[in-house]
Amino acid sequence: MSFIERMHRQKAMVIMNGNHVTEQLVADVIAYLGGSPLVAEDERDDEALVSLASAIVLNMGTVSKQSHQRLIHLGRAANLNQKPVVFDPVGAGASTLRKKQAEAIMAAVSVKVIRGNLSEIAALLSGESSRFGIDATSHADAVQTALDYARLKKAWVVISGPVDTVSDGKRVFQIKNGHPYLEKNVGMGDALDSILALGLVHTTRFEEFVQVVAMLPVAADLVIKQSAVRGPASFKMALLDKLSQLSQAELFDVAHIKEVPVN
Ligand SMILES: Nc1ncnc2c1ncn2[C@@H]1O[C@H](COP(=O)(O)OP(=O)(O)OP(=O)(O)O)[C@@H](O)[C@H]1O
Ligand SMILES: Cc1ncsc1CCO
């Protein structure tokens, strides 16, 4: 059975927290892919809920003093229960406070996947040592940034953007799919986080995980020429429909995934 079939057949609960702007979109994406979404707000519930869940997404989108501690508590509960954690350091490249909060979460929680844009991951990498103080703005920088940060944190790193770059600390793959309407729609990165969380439930192989990263931009490629798509809003509806029906064969046919040679 393919991992997409497994997603739809085995209902996995994904707990998410930390972004009130995009909760509804993310919950819908989890449900459309066969999962069961849950936003957990009260830390007194963490033990019970995390033990039922299959994966956890920590998102710094609407982070505050309180919600920062909340994310750490949830992440630690996930670690204790050996549930995979996806972390999205929203805005870590935009303010010192957010960067510090992201660093604190990375220090307190063992994260399986960190997913951000280039400025977010580059900010976290440059905080580790001046050796990593690069001015990361291009796709070539993304390769080195993903590789270095994955090695350093022993995590899988996804740097999203017009090209997605994915590393497990040994190898780097780049995915060339998608459309600028993905960027235009607020929260598609958060939706991607939840797809990655479901992916971690259904595959442990890194090469298969790279295909999971490609699901969202491949779905975009498959709908962009539909006559019903007249702008970013109708694109979003068509995209969500396609995502719910995407087959492994379509993913295989349309995904442009290339391994990038690294030292
Ligand atoms: N210009 C683009 N062209 C094609 N695909 C894109 C483009 N920009 C982003 N994407 C795709 O959009 C998805 C989300 O990535 P993005 O980098 O926009 O996340 P983000 O900035 O964290 O978004 P958000 O903060 O709104 O959640 C990824 O699947 C990525 O491949
Ligand atoms: C617009 C916005 N503001 C905080 S989080 C968020 C959604 C993208 O993560």
33 and 54 Cβ atoms separated by less than 8 Å: no
**Protein residues with CB under 6 Å of any ligand 2 atom:** 19, 21-22, 61-62, 90, 186-187, 190
Average pLDDT value for the chain: 95
What's the pLDDT score for residue 132? Answer: 58
Best residue among 192, 211, 223 to mutate for probing ligand 1, ranked by most atoms within 8 Å of CB: 192
Q: Is residue 131 a known part of a binding site?
A: no
What per-residue confidence (pLDDT) applies to 247? 98
Percent of the chain with pLDDT over 70: 95
Annotation-wise, does 160 bind a ligand? yes
Q: Ligand 1: residues within 6 Å at CB?
A: 117, 160-162, 164, 178-180, 182-183, 186-190, 192, 216-217
pLDDT tens sequence across 35-59: 999 999 999 999 999 999 999 999 9
What ligand is nearest to the CA atom of residue 186? 1
What confidence category does residue 127 fall into, taking pLDDT thresholds of 50, 70 and 90? confident
**Cβ burial, residue 73 (10 Å; 0-12/13-18/19+):** middle
Distance 101 CA to ligand 2 centre (A): 16
Task: Tell me the per-residue pLDDT of 94-109, one tens digit each, with 9 for 90 and over.
Answer: 999 999 999 999 999 9
Q: Is 187 annotated as a binding residue?
A: yes
119 Cα to the center of ligand 2, angstroms: 15
> How much distance in Å is there from the Cα of 160 to the middle of ligand 1?
6
Rounded-to-integer distance, Cα 152 and Cα 125, Å: 9
Over the stretch 206-263, which tens digit does the pLDDT of each residue have? Answer: 999 999 999 999 999 999 999 999 999 999 999 999 999 999 999 999 999 999 999 8
The sheet carrying 257-260 orders its strands as 36-39, 13-17, 55-59, 85-88, 113-117, 156-160, 164-167, 172-175, 257-260
Structure tokens at 193: 């986080």
The pLDDT value recorded for residue 134 is: 44
Interacting residues of 145 by C-beta distance below 8 A, sequence separation 6+? 118, 121, 122, 125, 134, 136, 157, 159, 165
Residue 168 has pLDDT above 60, yes or no: yes
* C-alpha 102 – ligand 1 centre gap (Å): 20
Q: Which of 92, 109, 209, 202 is nearest to 157 (CA)?
A: 209
* Model pLDDT, residue 263: 80
CA 83/CA 60 separation, integer angstroms:
19
Tell me the chain's radius of gyration from C-alpha atoms.
17
Percent of the chain with pLDDT over 90: 94
Q: What is the band of 139 on the pLDDT scale with cuts at 50, 70, 90?
A: low
The answer on pLDDT for 135 being more than 60 is: no
Query: Binning pLDDT at 50, 70 and 90, where does residue 128 land?
Result: confident
What is the pTM (predicted TM-score) of this model? Answer: 0.96
pLDDT-based confidence at residue 90 (cuts at 50, 70, 90) = very high
CA of 90 from ligand 2 middle (Å) equals 8
